[in-house]
Structure 1
């Protein structure tokens, strides 16, 4: 089993096939939920995060699972697959912790500061994974991860404009607080890795 210091600097997941299956399974679940929502006449779309509504606090639990139609979901699916897989490089346990931090930071940020609407969609997770991948190499002082960050920025850096107010009907607040959650998660991973001393080299007996 690898130590946190080693996991924090990985590029490829320890179990890439399992990681790919988990991320693909999550994205597949989103398609199943959207199919159910379509069959119900899109009644689930109102169950997103509704800012400052105490009666709807539990919507924080499932708002990234809901999408406003197939085009919304398909637009999120590919970046979620790619960035989610890259974010599993520290193992699935670390990935689940990263996801929880991003999920809650995005949801709570929207609930406190968001505009009045039902905020739904996995784009907060996407922006969180993107931000996590962009800054983790700096926190971990890993040249290889910084190179990955450059590649990720080249491919998806344009999306960072989505953290600013702009297009009507787009939850820029979810994007912004998702990205902040990704930065917080990257800092936490690096902090935990620094707390654990590196294992001393093994000595061979004669």
Structure 2
């Protein structure tokens, strides 16, 4: 399951330079710094095989895995043991050597237990050859030098590990999410504060990972902790405001709208669940969880001071404005501030005549009309806003506006049957049967037999699909009675 926010589009007139710079930095590090890792690893494996160490370490590794499974309860390593045994059976010495060399916890196990595992002559040979390989090749790998190793935690690796990656699949996936989230958060916070917050989230994510992996010698690399921080900041910036999310489940994908903060526990719960139940996947789930909490926490704690969202972030997009619109919009907002509602309404109407594609103007006019729910203008603006929401494929907003009108304006100027019928159709598509039934009752009272009969039939069919026989029977009876 994948859920990512998709509320904004990139404004290329004001590119997200810091986000693009972070992406470029990761790519350059991968190309020019990590690019030599494969050559060093190949040399290490060649030296390792030539020294005869696979024959020494192979039996010890099999015993090590069996102990982990039997005594430490690491059942997820059964597959790892079987895979290693198959490599030995197939005489795949190269990949067997890679497995032995790159298991850092196994290397620590050998250092601590070499007195027990081997006789003195074998022990001297192993220590001499293994130390040479470690110093010459392994310790010069990028992950060993600048990755975050919990057992050797240092301040600088809390930053440097964020720019390292474990391969092109890893980096492409991370940079895609960095771009999708980063341009919005950068716009909200401004370049400087955004960069500092991004790095701080990555550092705090690394600290959480270390707390859950104390003493581990396996290096953590990648920007996913920092990106999780962006996810936390993103939803905290919007708070309870409903925004659009993209979701992907299996082969199905779509969009939905929800309060931004409602998704935070979903993301957090998934990472914690995977940490306990997903097994040995090589994914740092608790680093992700730490990043989510760090990002949201920073905005909540510092959102009114250092990390305050810029005022223009929630205003209409700058690339949709020209000077005349900017000046006119500012004048209308000033009139609102002075509570000169009649003047503000005229100004917004004039702006809407010149800029009919700006939804924000209709929303202002709707809220102004709502001040007098007894006048027909409120009903007219409600219809306009409902139609606008439907045209922008936001049925939840249309239903919400309709419900608000029922409580404030329906008693003065009732909506037409067509209005209730549109709400009924939208509610059925959203599987909001409660709203659909409410719209049907309003439709019945609007005295339109044809629309009422069709709506009754649709409700009966929907309840039959859901196997809700009493409800279906009720609407079938109404249909026959009509």
TM-score (norm 2): 0.33
SS in 2 for 1:147: strand
Give the match for residue 179 of structure 1: 292
Alpha-carbon distance in 1 for matches of 2:14, 2:205: 26
The alpha-carbon distance between structure 1 residues 136 and 168, as it changes in their structure 2 partners (threshold 3 A), is same
Larger deviation, residues 182-191 vs 126-135: 182-191
1:35-62 per-position Cα deviation (integer Å, ceiling 9, x unaligned): 12443225202231111424x4431121
Alpha-carbon distance in 1 for matches of 2:167, 2:228: 20
Q: Does 1:191 align with 2:187?
A: no
SS in 1 for 2:286: helix
Superposed displacement of residue 122, structure 1: 0.3
Q: Does 1:60 align with 2:127?
A: no
SS in 2 for 1:119: coil
SS in 1 for 2:186: coil
Alpha-carbon distance in 1 for matches of 2:307, 2:192: 18
Give the match for residue 72 of structure 1: 170
Give the match for residue 147 of structure 1: 243
The alpha-carbon distance between structure 1 residues 45 and 189, as it changes in their structure 2 partners (threshold 3 A), is same
Say which one has the larger Rg. 2
Give the match for residue 45 of structure 1: 143
1:16-27 counterparts in 2 under 5 A? Answer: 17-27=13-23
The alpha-carbon distance between structure 1 residues 155 and 98, as it changes in their structure 2 partners (threshold 3 A), is farther
Q: Which has more strand, going by share of residues?
A: 2
SS in 1 for 2:16: helix
Give the match for residue 125 of structure 1: 226
Q: 1:109 aligns with which of 208, 232, 255?
A: 208
Alpha-carbon distance in 2 for matches of 1:155, 1:84: 20
Alpha-carbon distance in 2 for matches of 1:44, 1:111: 19
Give the match for residue 193 of structure 2: 94
Q: Whose RCO is larger (CA < 8 A, sep 6+)? A: 1
Alpha-carbon distance in 2 for matches of 1:179, 1:133: 10
Superposed displacement of residue 107, structure 1: 1.8
SS in 1 for 2:243: helix
Alpha-carbon distance in 1 for matches of 2:205, 2:21: 22
Alpha-carbon distance in 1 for matches of 2:288, 2:13: 29
Alpha-carbon distance in 2 for matches of 1:48, 1:93: 25
Task: Answer whether contact 1:19 1:88 (CA < 8 A) is retained.
Answer: no
1:102-148 per-position Cα deviation (integer Å, ceiling 9, x unaligned): 1221122223323621011000111111121123222xx6x3xx425
Structure 2: gaps (5+ residues): 1-6, 39-140, 250-262, 312-333, 339-482
Task: Answer whether contact 1:52 1:112 (CA < 8 A) is retained.
Answer: no
State the number of aligned residues.
180
